[in-house]
Amino acid sequence: MLALALIAAPGRAIAADHFTPLSARVLHAPEPVRGGDGRMHLAYELVLANDSAFPPGPVTVRRIIARAAGKPVETLAGAELEEMMEPFGVVNERTPRTTIQPGGTAKVLMDVSYPAGAPIPRRLDHEIVLSPGPPAAVELSRFTAAPTAVRKRPAVIVAPPLRGPGWVVINGCCAQNTSHRRSLLAIDGGLHAGERYAIDFVQMTPAGQLTEGPADQLASYPFYGDEVLSATAGKVVGVVDRLPDGPINFALPPITAGDAGGNHVVVAMGGGRYAFYAHLVPGSVRVKVGERVRPGQVLGLLGNSGNSNAPHLHFQLMDGPSPLGSEGIPYRFSSFTAEGTLADFPQFFVGGAAARLAGSPRGPRHAELPLNLQIVGLGP
């Protein structure tokens, strides 16, 4: 205690320590990106751990309030919190997803957004409100935690990696709990969200359907084999082209982390950014490690290799060459045409139904990241 007293500013008391039932941290400081809704999005994750030991017990998170300069900017509670929070590992359907057992951990997928032109805060922190489980000696059920800087760097502008109308943004950013957003993975001993801003592109037929013919045949997906284009200039630093196209089904087999992307290409863009194009057709990759590529150059063909349950292009940018062992970073497409938003994803994707589209926005968009379930026309 003597040491603490010595470093205190003269005349100012040090705030007392308190036992809190949880610890919380931000996995990776958010980078703002303008989304296809015209708003600026800060997508990031909180990692919560129930470290309470006096005595140990379950805790239930009631509310998480993201704050900038002490003012609330986003509140997650109720059904929305249940949607965006989940434990690491197996989800136990019998306990609420907002309850964390002693020693347990959970993630919360945050999307703080601002109207275009509004000032973006330089820092955020979080007020966490919870109810401890059985009577506990923990002192605080409302506390401030998980401060983070907000990065200033603008999201890079890239070319779309595909051409044509009717591309559906599956598992896109930011406000929904998608397989990309919840993929906080332990890779080579670190926790990473490489797929934070990833998009799985599939293309609607002119009739608004996913397939023409039986859904278990590759040939029924008219966009299977479409050319995948480099979104950027850069140098190829990773290529895999030896894996078969997998069967089409909706229960993915376990697969190694290194093979999850199937046949793929990684391009170093410079500035610490890398682009990743995954699930390509076996034998279709047209570039080699060390080769320089230009925007629009064909890298390979859209396929169904690796961790893929139907043909699609998985596209993402990340801050290192490892697709899963890096942090996903945002990007914007130079231009695209907004064609609406898919309103009935399960019926479209597994039910064989024609897409039902929700309204806005429609028309040309520039320098934005298309958001989850937006339908976009790409290329000239």
Q: Which residues are at the interface with Zn ion (CB under 5 A)?
A: 200, 314
Nearer to Zn ion, 48 or 265 (CB): 265
Give the shortest CB-200-to-Zn ion separation in angstroms: 4
Query: Collapsing DSSP states into helix, strand and coil, what is residue 359?
Result: strand
Nearer to Zn ion, 179 or 334 (CB): 179
Identify the helix (H) or strand (E) that includes residue 69.
none
Give the shortest CB-347-to-Zn ion separation in angstroms: 20
Nearer to Zn ion, 50 or 316 (CB): 316
Give the shortest CB-198-to-Zn ion separation in angstroms: 5
Give the shortest CB-276-to-Zn ion separation in angstroms: 10
Within 10 Å of residue 26's Cβ, how many Cβ atoms? 20
Name beta bridge partners: 270. 273
Cα–Cα separations (whole angstroms), residue 224 to 75, 256, 277, 280: 41, 24, 15, 9
CB-CB contact of 38 with 371 (8 Å): no
Give the shortest CB-266-to-Zn ion separation in angstroms: 15
Q: What is the DSSP string of 84-123?
A: HEEESSS--TTS-TTEE-TT-EEEEEEEEEE-TTSPPPSE
Nearer to Zn ion, 88 or 197 (CB): 197
Give the integer Cα–Cα distance in Å for 52 and 63.
18
Give the shortest CB-279-to-Zn ion separation in angstroms: 8
Within 10 Å of residue 289's Cβ, how many Cβ atoms? 11
Give the shortest CB-246-to-Zn ion separation in angstroms: 14
Nearer to Zn ion, 264 or 314 (CB): 314
Query: Collapsing DSSP states into helix, strand and coil, what is residue 237?
Result: strand
Cα–Cα separations (whole angstroms), residue 19 to 137, 142, 342: 8, 11, 46
Nearer to Zn ion, 181 or 314 (CB): 314
Nearer to Zn ion, 114 or 167 (CB): 167
Burial class, 209, CB count within 10 angstroms (exposed 0-12 / middle 13-18 / buried 19+): middle
Q: Which residue is nearest to Zn ion (CB)?
A: 314
Name beta bridge partners: 363. 338
